[in-house]
Amino acid sequence: MSTSRVALVTGSSSGIGEAVARRLAAEGFRVVVNSARSVEAGEKVAASLPDGHYVQADIAREEDCLRLVDDAVAHFGRLDVLVNNAGITRPIPHADLAAATGAVWREILDVNVVGTWQTTVAAMPALRAGGAGAVVNVSSLAGSRPAGSSIPYAVSKAAIEHLTRLLAATVGPQVRVNAVAPGLVETPWTRGKDFFAPIAEQVSNLAPLRRVGQPEDVADAVWALVNSTYTTGQVLLVDGGSHLR
């Protein structure tokens, strides 16, 4: 059996997750690709990797999280890195308080926060077994600034950042836990949407690096945290300096 490291990247059929999966594969990882619904796209990404494996699972369902991790370990024999990228949002203007209903809150929190928690808990025995496991959560600039596609989404990302710190303080030294917090990133979800163009123009005009992010920018940051063996409990902003404005 191969001794090369194994990474599980949730929500990796496109966008940031796909870029992370490809970067880790390029660094020699065997990668488990995952999505809740985009099965064909996920299978295509996995098939394009040197040693990829696809598992359909909805992280909002605890039984799916357990099955996802069990499948990854059964297929590759180990798990070294978990990247909690899967997430959802519902674009709602912040001033439209009534539109952010309880149902919207529950839907977003169930995936972004509870789903991240459930997947991490399911993966922890395997991550601990190797003695040098790593978790990287994908947050957002909206987790620390009054921004984002909706208030429930921003709150969910703030929760992810504190969860990152709490876990890091709890699961060391066997496992490190960090997070990346992207600013505006051009992905299949944002590209062509009505809200994207004006925000992209604003970021390109004001941010010190004068452009919006690409999925590969976030993948670079994820790899840096995976590879930084004396770093834990950190949230790395990946926003071209937008937070400075």
CA distances from 214 to 104, 158, 182, 190, 220 (A): 28, 22, 10, 11, 10
Helices marked H in the chain — which ranges? 15-26, 39-48, 62-76, 102-109, 116-129, 151-171, 196-206, 215-227
151-171 and 102-109 helices, crossing angle to 10°? 30
Round to whole Å and give the CA distance between 146 and 98. 18
Query: How many other C-beta atoms can be found within 10 angstroms of the C-beta atom of residue 18?
Result: 25
Among residues 54, 76, 153, 223, the one annotated as catalytic is 153
Asked about 230 being catalytic, the answer comes back as: no
Active site residues: 153
